[in-house]
Chains A and B, each alone.
Chain A
């Protein structure tokens, strides 16, 4: 008896939670007269005009491209900077794991404006405002603590004996790192890359503040439309859905690895 009740409650909650997502997808397929009529339509004749308009008119490809570049470089940069540091924290005697955990947590506490205001002033002085470089730098700052923490976790899982054995056999430490550890930690690297990519892709407040007309990322562009021109509902919905696709794709590929990486340190 209660089993049925539980199931029904679950289904009800699921429908409630998924409804807004369904709604925005539905709007993206509706014609303007359906959207703007006094009554929301649950049945309608679908159209792909919104998607066509969103891609052709305006600068959607530009914004999408900007987001792509920023996210890729953010993930790359943060990995390049964090991995050596993570390696030293994971391997050497001083209590690396605990310290990096505390630091990552501490940076999580810091309000984003504390980072934004000084870097904005810095960028302003060096004429770096309205450049993609500015966003990449800010996103990297945002992401590095987490990336380092994840990499420390992944590297720790690889026994140092493997490296020691390589060194005994005549490699330098660097060679041991490149030939033995790196290939083994590759899945972890991939998961971390995807994770930082996703964070950068959806980030709004930094992107809005330091980008200009030509360097807007997708979230920043949508934000701009919402503030001033909330008339083309359908196209905006289509743009939003298109922007969501990379995230959905990435997430479904990496679900298991991501959840493992995230909960690894905290639920031991």
Chain B
């Protein structure tokens, strides 16, 4: 049909513009800048080739600890979110009166503004006037210095991340569960399978594409978009306990105004996520 090729070039232009401005230009400029020693305070940029990268890999221990915390934050957060999301979605699977309302209510932590919620958590986690410590005290448990201690801060930040994003998984898994055919389940029930067996051998395998896709989104988000939570709760502290790659790079760029090295960090962040990212995208394409 010749109409399909009618003047496609005009239409393609916005696409190419978008591609360039959104993807190629930023990555290109970052790669370019990363080859220079370039700070806002230090005069003219000086070309140093891969010097920034060398320093980053070999001698920057702050990068190493930030990368470690990024990994920890992402992995622990997702593991717990996954479990919670799946459990809640399963609990919401069968119809009962008010189910849709309850499901909508579960969405709230996810759709509300992260910073407002993070601020709420900051009040709650306050060592003396916060409600969490108060509740711990009333049941006889020891109070925790949530945001002031290294482990407390790490736990708090991951906890808020889980709280905010498990609802997303509830939504995703619920949609996936409701799309499942009922025949396998009926057949299994007729054959006398136990709940656990049904779950393990029917529900999980059928849900695999959804699970993989959800994991992909969550991994990318937890890795990239945690500035709201960490910035509000701890700012990377105490010390550098909760400083992950995003916070570290942002500080380097906009507190220390080191444009060359922060570009290097950004590129390395991209490279780090590229491998698992591509791997997971392949996995979804194969099963979806």
Contact = CB atoms under 8 A, between A and B. Distances in A.
Q: Decide if A and B are genuine partners.
A: yes
Interface of A: 6, 9-10, 13-14, 17-18, 20-21, 23-24, 27, 35-40, 81-82, 84-85, 87-89, 91-93, 102-103, 105-121, 141, 144-145, 148, 164, 167, 173, 198, 201-202, 204-205, 209, 218-219, 222-223, 226-227, 230, 233, 236-237, 240-241, 243-244, 247-248, 251, 255, 259, 263, 266-268
Contacts of B262: 113, 117
30 contacts: A17-B167, A20-B120, A23-B123, A81-B18, A88-B15, A91-B4, A92-B11, A93-B5, A105-B281, A107-B22, A108-B220, A109-B277, A110-B27, A112-B246, A113-B249, A114-B266, A114-B269, A114-B270, A117-B26, A117-B253, A118-B33, A120-B253, A121-B259, A144-B22, A148-B18, A204-B114, A219-B115, A240-B120, A243-B116, A244-B112
Contacts of A91: 4
A227 B26 contact: no
A111 B222 CA distance: 11
A88 B116 contact: no
Given A109-B277, A114-B267, A117-B266, A204 B18 contact: no
Contacts of A85: 11, 14-15, 18
B23 A223 contact: no
Contacts of B277: 109
Contacts of B134: 39-40
B113 A219 contact: yes
A40 B129 contact: yes
Contacts of B84: 13
Given A112-B225, A164-B3, A118 B29 contact: yes
Contact of A205 (B22, B104, B227): B227
B25 A118 contact: yes
A93 B113 contact: no
Nearest to A141: B22
B234 to A, nearest CB: 11
B123 A117 contact: no
B88 A13 contact: yes
Interface of B: 3-8, 11-12, 14-15, 17-19, 21-23, 25-27, 29-30, 33, 84, 87-88, 91-92, 102, 104-109, 111-117, 119-124, 128-131, 134, 163, 166-167, 171-172, 175-176, 179, 210, 213, 217, 220, 223-225, 227-228, 231-232, 235, 245-246, 249-250, 253-254, 259, 262-263, 265-267, 269-270, 273-274, 277, 281, 288
Contact of A204 (B92, B223, B231, B245): B231
A226 B246 contact: no
Nearest to A148: B18
Contact of B175 (A23, A167, A248, A259): A259
Majority-rule SS of B interface residues: helix
Contacts of B246: 111-113
Given A17-B106, A84-B14, A89-B15, 13 more contacts: A23-B120, A81-B14, A82-B18, A87-B11, A109-B274, A111-B269, A115-B26, A145-B22, A202-B112, A204-B228, A240-B115, A244-B113, A268-B288
Contacts of B109: 17-18, 20-21
A251 B171 CA distance: 14
A106 B23 contact: yes
B130 A40 contact: yes
Nearest to B117: A20
A120 B30 CA distance: 12
Contacts of A115: 22, 26
A111 B74 CA distance: 14
Given A18-B105, A105-B281, A255-B104, A237 B22 contact: no
Contacts of B266: 111, 113-114, 117
B30 A251 contact: no
Contacts of B274: 109
Nearest to B229: A204
A13 B104 CA distance: 14
B105 A110 contact: no
A219 B116 CA distance: 8
A107 B23 contact: yes
Contacts of A9: 87, 91
A180 to B, nearest CB: 15
A173 B130 contact: no
Contacts of B108: 17-18, 21
Nearest to A20: B120
Nearest to A202: B113
A110 B26 contact: yes
Nearest to A198: B111
Contacts of B91: 6, 9-10, 13
